[in-house]
A and B are shown apart, each in its own frame.
Chain A
Amino acid sequence: MSDNSVVVRYGDGEYTYPVIDSTVGDKGFDIGKLRAQTGLVTLDSGYGNTAAYKSAITYLDGEAGILRYRGYPIEQLAERSTFLEVAYLLINGELPSVDELSVFKNDITQHTLLHEDVKNFYRGFPRDAHPMAMLSSVVSALSTFYQDSHNPFDEKQRNLSTIRLLAKLPTIAAYAYKKSIGHPFVYPRNDLGYVENFLRMTFSVPAQEYEPDPVVVSALDKLLILHADHEQNCSTSTVRLVGSSQANMFASISAGINALWGPLHGGANQSVLEMLEGIQASGGDVDSFIRKVKNKEDGVRLMGFGHRVYKNFDPRAKIIKAAAHDVLSALGKSDELLDIALKLEEHALSDDYFVSRSLYPNVDFYTGLIYRAMGFPTEMFTVLFALGRLPGWIAQWHEMIKEPGSRIGRPRQIYTGVVERDFVPVEER
């Protein structure tokens, strides 16, 4: 048997499809001619066996706990790089030189302000609007303000949209938070770094300037790096699919934000907090909660432990665990929920039931704790995920649009409905 092709036997025919090599990880086979040759289509629920694209951006191996952006291990990037540098790397393929980084940072800094009329959108939203709905709406609305950068095939326009999105999303996110608590919007300040600026726009009020703690800034920068890309996940695939119709970048990213809003995708770190609140509401007894988990009692769900992709350990959780403890001790907050979380963590790391099932605290567990300690309400957690994922979405959008022979994404179906029947006027039914 050859290992460079796959043979499909169907009816009397035998059809050969070429194997497509990867540099590392899953190989595939190209079934581009399958339907024409056999009359068959493939059915693959959730696309779990379907490579949507060849991609050179992110490699992950769930069994081995490997995550690399453009070949660089996530551990090295989280430890030694910065979020903006990682954004540059993901989008451009290489780490920037000193000059390239300085131009990139400066461009982003110059675009952090929102058009004053954008504030009217926030005025229109109800006060209890979910910040993810505000985030996706305002990003979509950016396409009405920046009609000079819609053409996906013009490199200058692509790059301008890229800078505008990276620069404005923290402002959009902070305004969404301000709207939800009825505080005045805080304008960006160009003398601050990306993360400091976001924290200040979020937490300062006219009556009280906000001094970000360097430990908090560093932890948030790391968290954004850890979330910056995860290859063809649901929101990224959404960005690519919408972008494949040649819709502009704002429209594509807005769709990705909506995909991330779903509880099966971006909601995991919020579920961790809801679990902790559940434990607190029932008296804060961690031992009894753990007993219920082990007895698999109805309605008791352990959130933030183990991972669907990372079977043995989550490389991102290893990195962020230390940062989580740094932030908690730097902020020195006494908080019953955080105490419950730390007890739960201690249990999980020492209890054989958890260890043998690989139910280790995952990235969402620590992320939820850190965001809570920083003072973010749970509704903002997914917004922070979106801030982190933005460069990944943009990078994947660029790769898709620049791929020679890139086509509109247009799956097939297997029709299972009524074959044919005649229309009957309403009076005769």
Chain B
Amino acid sequence: MWPFLRTEAEHVPVRADLLGAASGVALRTWEPADAVAYAAGIGATRDEGPPSTLITLLAQFDVEFPAALGPWAFARVLHAEQSHTTYAPVPLRGRLSIRTRVSDLRDLATGVIVGISAEALDGDDGTLVARTRMGLFVRGDRSGATSASARRSGLPERPAEHTVVDRPAPTRPNGTLAAATTIRCTSKPRRPGPAVSLGRSCTGCARTASPVGRSSRCCARTARSGWWP
């Protein structure tokens, strides 16, 4: 839970002087075993080779928020934007120095977007390794800060080269997903096993299941329909 999210009664409106507020420097270290565990956790397969540098980075890139944020009402805050840029390879064993700051405030018609940027430097030589930015939309507030106007989407006018349609599974009256969900798993099973439940390791291949479609499978085995309780 983000520490600055509280109840409506505790909400403090976003202020212009929030711009530039920074966190302390956080040091993150990791070993190859950490990277492998994380890669397996998010579904990497042996076929994809060793954990990518990006995965390694993501494993360690937890956010240290500036203390000046909030408190904001939980029900007012939405995740609006996310970006990630890497500038240098990240080794499988290493150390990063990370600092986070409020980089921009953008007033919209119905609220304000608070941009929070993090910069990760190599813990040994200070080389810039990555920058991330997240935008939090705080509904109902206006900072009054002078910020850049809304950015253009940058999407071309021509027809798309690829289009993918993802149809949702039917929803039960009580809100649970009723129909089948595909669990993508490309590993060969080590042993026959029952269907895998979402969020748990597949008994056939030990991978964590993730929903990607409309039928249920793991290890090329057809599983039962339904969203597991």
The answer to whether A and B belong to the same complex is no
Using CB atoms and an 8 Å cutoff, list the residues of chain B in contact with chain A.
none
